Structure 1
Amino acid sequence: MGAVSSRAARLAATAMAAVLAGTMVSGHTPGAAAAPTAQTPLTVTAKQQSWVFRDGDGREVTLRGFNVSGSTKLYENALLPFRGVADAARSAQAMRDLTGANVIRFLISWEGVQPSPSTIDYAYLDKAVEQIRAFTSRGIRVLVDYHQDLYSSYLFDQGSWYTGDGAPEWVIKAGNYPKESCGICFLWGQNMQTNEAVRRAAYDFWRDRRISTAAGEIGVQQAFLHQATAAMRHIKQRLPQEEFASIIGFDPFNEPYDGGLSGQSGLEWEKTYLMPFYQRFRAAMDAAGWASKPAFVEPLVFWNTGFFEEGGLATVGALGTRYVFNSHFYDGARMTIDPSPASDGVYDPAMNEIRERARTLATAPFVSEFGNKLSGNGSDRTPWMVRAMYQAMDSGVPGKNWWQDAAAGGDVLSSTQWHWDIYSGRHRELMNRNPDKVQTEGDAWNDEDFSVVSADASGVVSTRLDQAVLDRLYPSAVAGDLLAFAYEDLARSGYGGAGRQQAWMTVPSSMPNVAALVKDRRFGVVVWREPAAAPSAPTELHLPASFTAATTVVVGDVATRVGLPASGPAAIATETGSPTAHRLLLAPSGATPGTVHATLVVSAATAPTPAQLAAAAAELAAWKSHRFPT
């Protein structure tokens, strides 16, 4: 409350008509701010029976990164992910160095943008832009997200067990909602189904209830769209053109829920209320200069949770490429009643459902949230839960069957994990503005603890989850059509190097030399088809830190060798914006259009002999010809 009121006091009120119309980083020494990195815009394009992201060179792009962050829900952070640009830069550098991430989902708040009905807080937006630029300058793309949970913190009493975020105080006051109560709730999300105050507020939003404000009467959804238009226009104006190219789109509304179906099914509610809202937001994007960027639209939040499943945008018709099907995935069963550990292929059905739904909607899929808690009951299973989620996003076929059925794995899913918070465990948030309920642990929001990183007092960022899970081999840009990909990360089942280490990918007995080469080693396989026109840029894969230039082994038709030089058909280069993270560049020479390539990449501490390499290459070539005939 104090942060909002002091901010409002600094601002000159504007008329409603105006609303309408470096520091130490991950052990690195301090340095100058990174120079802006030019990137080509992404587009959503058709690929056989699916849709994918492509860059300006026509390469199929996989986006992997994190949400920044739950701190946007906190008043101690002034409703922004970071407390200043230095912290944003520290976080961006650590993310690039430690994980090779190439995308973030950057949260902003309606309350932060519009603290009063007649005010757009351009100072808030300028701070957001400065923090965004800390990432774009390091080659990291950005999905901007209007975040809300349980609609608003102002629906909750000071003594409540729960809180929310999103809508500003003036909207809630105008709504005159009943006293909130979740009843017997074990998870904060149950408020969406049992808390009458939360449900009525959401109900009003979707039906654009007219409310009386100090600036006059307006529909609540209309007010949201007006401020969103102003915010998007300002963000575009404040970002240099080359950095605006790094913005991949906008997520209009986090985790939409109905607030009352009025006798309709979830699918009917999506068609009647949610999709029309998305179309209005799409028009707002166009008006604000975002016409070339897609809206990343989410289905009804419960569509794939394992409980109370409804919705999924299955009846709204084809979305097309001006939208992206934007899903979340959390394992509702293992978060509550299922005590079993995750294992090889356990999340393939869930991720394949996302792939298939995107295909029916005629657009690309994106998983903008997934993960699990890092402390408390059940957190001992988190490392392999997250490992299994990444595995299923890489390929929809279990590792034990991958070599036999790689072509059926589907497209690699782009995603942002929840979440990345350098303040983890060091917060000081007054829950619901109550000075007697100071939250310091975990995420400082509804008892959650999901951050995969933390920072010490000197600002050095370290991972809390096994870096083998987070720093992954992935095909960041493929010159042509990606046909199959899989990665064996050998991540341990516990924390801090503890727990079991077990391979999930099983090489068939028909490939004994490949099996010997990859035994007890991290490895990945990428298969792709040459485009019709000669590519203007190479295929790129992010290399985890364990894949060093001297010891990485490449096997395939592009090159077969031990060690990666700085040039040639298989070469190593640093990741844009990082002095320590690396990528593998694969550039076939003189390949005809339609040629299928297969490359095996192995982190090998002991180099194989030339004979072993040649034998493995022959097996891989035979496998490729059999599984991916041209």
Structure 2
Amino acid sequence: MTGIVGPVEPATAADSPAPLVTVDGTRFVDTHGREVVLRGFNVSGEAKLAENGKLPFAGVADARKSALAMQSLTNANTVRFLLSWDAAEPSAGTMDTAYLAAVTAQAAAFADVGFEVLFDFHQDLFSRYLFNTGSWYQGDGAPQWVVSAGGYPAESCGLCVMWGQNITSNAAVKAATYDFWHNRVVNERDEFLNQAKQVLAYVRATFTATEFAHVLGVDPYNEPYAGNYDSGQDSRSWEQNVLWPFFVSVRAAMDDAGWADRPAYVEPNLFWNGTLSHETGGFLDAGIIGPRFVFAPHYYDQAAISGVAMWGKASDGQESSAFGTVRDRSTALGAPALVAEFGHPLGGYTSDKAPSIDKAMYQGLDSRLTGAQWWGNAAASGPVLSGTQWQWDIYSGQHHELMNGNASKVLTTGDAWNGEDFSSVALDSAGTAYLRQDARLLDRVYPAAVAGTTLAFTYEDRSRDGTTPMAWIPVPAGLPNTQAVVAASRYAMLVWRSGGDGSPTELKLPAGYRNTIVSDVTYTVQPRSLLLSGAGPAGTVHFALVADSTAPAASTLAAARTELTTWATTAFP
């Protein structure tokens, strides 16, 4: 191991390239002033494992393969890229430059092909070193020297049936987590902040100017939780008095590392918006946090995952309320929201719910309305949310992980971590990436860049639950020509108010989409995108319907355009 002793010199402001995506109020915007939606995946849970040195990939070639596959199979534009404190600082005050060089090169592979990159200092159950070779569970995060100094009890979760129960039931996990926030044993919170500053300075110094322009910012701490609350403390006061000051310290470290023009993507108490929890939070006392911070919660439907609290499959609007709450907190915080993790297991006893749950989650990202409500109340649709699904791991089902270093427990299936199986991708026997979920669900229409302000958006992906198409957003009978254009196909509808510098609005398009288009503006179809231009004076309401259907007669298209013009004028006066 080669170590760095002392700070890495950050780049100066004069040679710091401007980011391609910045914050404007509650919106992400690009250099043309267009409203940006960030969509993609977490890369990847492999960073939790030892088999490739706690790196997301075995090497840069695999990172590039993964990036190109994600681009080709899903048309995503963003990755949340996992970092390991354990790997970065294996001994106190000494940084592993071999790890830093490798992880930076792998992240650069995504930036080089055009992805926006959000770095994430990841942890689960605080550290792998709380667990022994015979443990039922695994952790990741803090280095061994932090855990060794704590003198924690032997870990045990009792009769836990899900790994997440360790967070509130495992005394060792709770105590180590509590100690971190209170800087109790080896000034571990301060050590983490110094490590983060060193890692970020290294990334900034190593990335080219073009690559660093694709860096969105950093998520400082994955799924924060108190461990134990102090006397009289609850989740809300813990966020206010412990977590938020920590994020302010992270913000200072980012500034010192040359990241002053990149926001910190901060997560609330991890149980805040869980469906099986009643904890409050969401930074209720933080005031306006933008533009230096972005709200980056996670969302999993724990009732659906449990298989007990939710029977059957998801239907229209199941997740709309949860994502509506994210929008409300974004507005109150004066900052954009990016749902940094969401998804549902693809293996295990509730995996049959995945097609409908994940569809409902994407529906919730697109609009706060149910499909049944959308056409009749589109003005209440709300902003389109950015999000990164958990997860994208090309090694899915092909791992070789010694669980907690135990050679008699070699994990190969799923994510090779606590029985999880979330990866939307895998490699076939020839090493070619393929989707493990319906391409209709993952390769989506979405408004990547809107010249002005999005007023409403929806996408009927008609993804399958088994062989059954799920169609939740019917075009109303009062729009018969629009119905004829859509027929039984996938379709998207965007309504926006024009603005910006004259650059076109861009809709991402799925592979093989037939692109029957009805709009009041001129447009150009490019490979995997639709460019809508000629929008006229700023503030004008415009629309675009994009269907995966065989184009009907010109007279039907013209009649649909007239219908939609009247509808848009009425819905958005």
TM-score bucket of the superposed structures, by smaller chain: over 0.9
Match of 2:555 in 1: 611
Structure 2 distance, partners of 1:205, 1:332, is 27
Asked if structure 1 preserves the Cα contact closer than 8 Å seen for 2:485 and 2:551, the reply is no
* 1:627 partnered with 2:547: no
Instruction: Provide the C-alpha distance between the structure 2 equivalents of 1:427 and 1:313, rounded to a whole number of angstroms.
Output: 38
- Separation in structure 2 between the aligned mates of residue 114 and residue 260 of structure 1, nearest angstrom: 26
Query: Deviation of residue 365 (structure 1)?
Result: 0.6
- After superposition, residues 157-172 of structure 1 pair within 5 angstroms as 157-172=132-147
**Equivalent residue of 1:594, what SS?**
coil
Structure 2 residue 50 is matched with structure 1 residue 80: no
Matches within 5 A, 1:280-429: 280-310=249-279, 311-336=281-306, 337=308, 338-429=310-401
* 3-state SS of paired residue (1:504): coil
Q: Which SS does the other structure have where 1:132 is aligned? A: helix
Quote how far apart the aligned CAs of 1:287 are. 0.3
* Alpha-carbon contact 1:39-1:139 (below 8 Å) kept: no
Q: Which residue of 1 aligns with 2:24?
A: 45
Whether the 8 Å CA contact 1:20–1:226 is kept in 2: the answer is no
Identify the residue that residue 538 of structure 1 maps to in structure 2: 504
* 1:306-361 superposed Cα distances (whole Å, 9 cap, x missing partner): 22332221122221210001010000101111122111111110000000011111
Name which of 548, 551, 554 aligns with 2:517.
554
The answer (yes or no) to whether the contact 1:374–1:449 under 8 Å persists in 2 is yes
Q: Is the 8 A contact 2:19 2:216 kept in 1?
A: no
Task: Give distance in 2, aligned partners of 1:20 and 1:434.
Answer: 40
Matched-pair contact (CA < 8 Å) for 1:553–1:601:
yes
Alignment pair present for 1:278 and 2:247 = yes
Instruction: Tell me, in whole angstroms, the C-alpha distance in 1 between the residues paired with 2:501 and 2:102.
Output: 42
Distance 1:430 1:526 in 2: 48
Offset of 1:583 from its aligned partner?
0.6
Query: Aligned partners of 2:327 and 2:340: how far apart in 1?
Result: 14
Match of 1:562 in 2: none
User: Aligned equivalents of 1:175 and 1:266: distance in 2?
Assistant: 24
Query: Shift in Å at residue 244 of structure 1?
Result: 0.4
Instruction: Judge conservation of contact 1:39–1:246 (CA < 8 Å) in 2.
Output: no
Residue correspondence of structure 1 range 593-612 to structure 2 within 5 A: 593-604=538-549, 606-612=550-556
Tell me whether 1:112 sits opposite 2:108 in the alignment: no
Count of matched residue pairs: 563
Tell me the secondary structure at the aligned position of residue 75 of structure 1. Answer: coil
* Residue 388 to residue 58, structure 1, CA distance change in 2 (3 Å): same
Alignment correspondent of 2:221: 253
Distance, in Å, in 2 between the alignment partners of 1:353 and 1:369 is: 15
Give per-residue Cα distances to partners, 1:89-147, cap 9 Å, x unaligned.
11000000110000000001001110111310122111111111211111111000000
Q: 1:73 & 1:374 partners in 2: Cα distance? A: 19
Q: Is the 8 A contact 1:39 1:242 kept in 2?
A: no
For the residue of structure 2 that corresponds to 1:529, the secondary structure is strand
Which stretches in structure 1 are left out of the alignment for 5+ residues?
Answer: 1-9, 22-37, 212-218, 559-568, 575-581
CA distance 1:144–1:323, change in 2 (3 Å): same
Structure 1 match to 2:526: 573
> Which residue is equivalent to 2:478?
510
State how 1:20-39 maps to structure 2 within 5 Å: none
Match of 1:234 among 202, 216, 219: 202
Report the Cα offset of residue 19 of structure 1: 8.0
Normalised by the size of structure 1, how large is the TM-score? 0.88
Whole-angstrom CA distance in 2 between matches of 1:115 and 1:19: 17
* Residue pair 1:178, 1:196 contacting (<8 A) in 2 also: yes
Q: Cα deviation per residue 1:25-68 (whole Å; 9 max; x = unaligned)?
A: xxxxxxxxxxxxx995211112xxxx110000100000000001
Instruction: Report the alpha carbon displacement of residue 18 of structure 1 after superposing the two structures with TM.
Output: 4.6
Q: Which runs of 4+ in 1 moved over 6 A?
A: none
Tell whether the 8 Å contact from 1:20 to 1:227 is kept in structure 2 after alignment: no
431, 440, 444: which is aligned to 2:416? Answer: 444
Q: Is the 8 A contact 1:271 1:315 kept in 2?
A: yes
Residues 19, 120 of structure 1: 8 Å contact kept: no
How far apart are the structure 2 equivalents of 1:309 and 1:428?
38
1:157 deviates by 1.3
Give, as a single letter, the amino acid of the residue that structure 2 aligns with 1:626: T
Q: Note the residue ranges of structure 2 that are not aligned, 5 or more in a row.
A: 11-16
